[in-house]
Amino acid sequence: MVLESKNPNQNRTPRILSIDILRGLVMVLMTLDHVRTFFSNANFNPLDLTESNIPLFLTRWITHLCAPTFIFLAGIGAYLSLKRGKTKQQLCRFLLLRGLWLVFLDLTVVRFSWRFDLNLTFSAAGVLWAIACSMIFLAAIIYLPTRIIATIGILLIVRHNLFDNVQVEQLGNIGWLWAILHQRTMIEPISGFRLFILHPLIPWIGVMAVGYAFGTLFEMEKYRRLQLLRKIGLGMIVAFIIIRGTNIYGDPNPWSIQYSFPDTVLSFIDCHKYPPSLLYLLITLGLAILLLYYFEKSNIRYFKPLIILGQEPLFFYVIHVYLIHLTAILFALSRYGIEPLTFSQLGISWKPKEFGYNLQIVYLIWLLITFLLYIICYQKIRFQASSLKGRKK
């Protein structure tokens, strides 16, 4: 069912708690991915089947849910805000200003959390950048009928792999624009400043547009909505299996038969993320929609910690890498002394090859950091609620 609560920071506007639960879950998974990045002793791509193992592969693979789900839910949230009283003009302004703010945060505050240096000649356009630009694009098309917005989003997701062979080098002076839209690469928009496009935009703006249209499901009667969530989620997984099985279209990296059946399965589900392929989005968003279906049916009391986290996504995102990075420095200091103060996830600064821990220790660190993040978010929500009550008095 649609689980609702009253959020004191939104004039007692109802929240759909199944969405908060799903958002909270992917935030916990995102934390796992970033803890693994900082603390793992596996100095190779965990999705590389020639070096990886099943637990490490799946630890990385399951976190693929994060970016698609964040952006998809942001689109749903934009649609629902109209049903909670915003006009399209107000929503357009909000999306535009919020998008610009997130771009600034990603290129400054978030960038520093990963690198801990003040060299401003380099930055990376990460997931906040993708969310921000998707919001700005949605603001530009918000006055179109919802069906047209859905069609635009679906076309961007389904057809963009037709252009996988187009490379920045082929486009001369406008190559930088193609990098922003569809190719993960480094550009130099201003002399002396390099920007690494980690998340090219075309598929992501399609995901947010589809999420916006998907918000219409939350206006439906409970039984009909649950039916559609189940059918759409399962349909996307089946579509993934059929299209992936052909090895013809939908992902630039074909799967192949491996030495063992489990490794063949891993090769089958290992899809291209930068930019996200059609198949990548089918399986991740299919799973996300099935999770929404499950959370809609479930008892809320089992998921209260995820609700807390899901109601503070931006605050959580901004602080979580700082906490992980600082914790990694403390661990490194205990082993190597003062030099690891320059320790950087991106490998720009000094990082000993032998630094890191096995997967079991990584999971323990993840649980500890997730608990700390929950306490911080919980206290923030309590403080906001008490401040609101004080102002009303």
At 262 the pLDDT is 96
Q: Please report the pLDDT score of residue 110 as a whole number.
A: 93
Residue-wise pLDDT tens digits, 282-335: 999 999 999 999 999 998 888 999 999 999 999 999 999 999 998 988 888 887
Q: Which pLDDT score, from 0 to 100, does residue 66 have?
A: 97
Average pLDDT over residues 81-88: 91
Average pLDDT over the chain reads: 90
Residue 17 has a pLDDT of 92
Task: Say yes or no to pLDDT of 70 above 90.
Answer: yes
pLDDT of residue 244: 98
Domain range spanning residue 53?
4-392
pLDDT of 136-187, one tens digit each?
999 999 999 999 999 999 999 999 999 999 999 999 889 999 999 999 999 9
Beta strands 186-190 and 193-197, pairing class: antiparallel
What is the reported pLDDT for 393?
Answer: 60
**125-129, 229-233, 337-341: least confidently modelled range:** 337-341
At 339 the pLDDT is 57
pLDDT the model gives residue 125: 94
Query: How would you class 100 by CB atoms within 10 Å of its CB: exposed for 0-12, middle for 13-18, buried for 19 or more?
Result: middle
In this prediction, what percent of the chain has a pLDDT beyond 90?
A: 77
Spatial strand order in the sheet of 186-190: 122-125, 193-197, 186-190
Q: How confident is the model at residue 27 (pLDDT cuts 50, 70, 90)?
A: very high
The count of structural domains within the chain is 1
275: which 2 tokens?
A: 């930019």
pLDDT over threshold 50, residue 346:
no
CA 198 to chain centre: 12
Which residues are CB-contacts of 271 (< 8 A; sequence separation ≥ 6)?
Answer: 64, 244, 251, 253, 277, 279, 280, 283
Please check the confidence at residue 388 and state whether its pLDDT lies above 80: no
Band of residue 248 on the pLDDT scale cut at 50, 70, 90: very high
With 0-12 CB in 10 A as exposed, 13-18 as middle and 19+ as buried, what is 87? Answer: exposed
Q: What is the DSSP letter of 124?
A: E
Structure confidence at residue 385 as a pLDDT band (50, 70, 90): confident
Supply the pLDDT for residue 4: 41
pTM, two decimals, is: 0.92
Alpha-carbon torsion angle 265, 267, 268, 269, nearest 10: 90
- The whole-number average pLDDT for the span 225-249 is 97
Average pLDDT, stretch 261-273? Answer: 97
- What percent of the chain clears pLDDT 70, i.e. is strictly above it? 91
241's CB contacts (< 8 A; 6+ apart) are none
Tokens 């187009």 belong to residue: 166
**Strand residues in 156-239 grouped as ranges (E):** 186-190, 193-197
Taking the alpha carbons at both ends of the chain, their separation in whole angstroms is 35
pLDDT beyond 50 at 133: yes
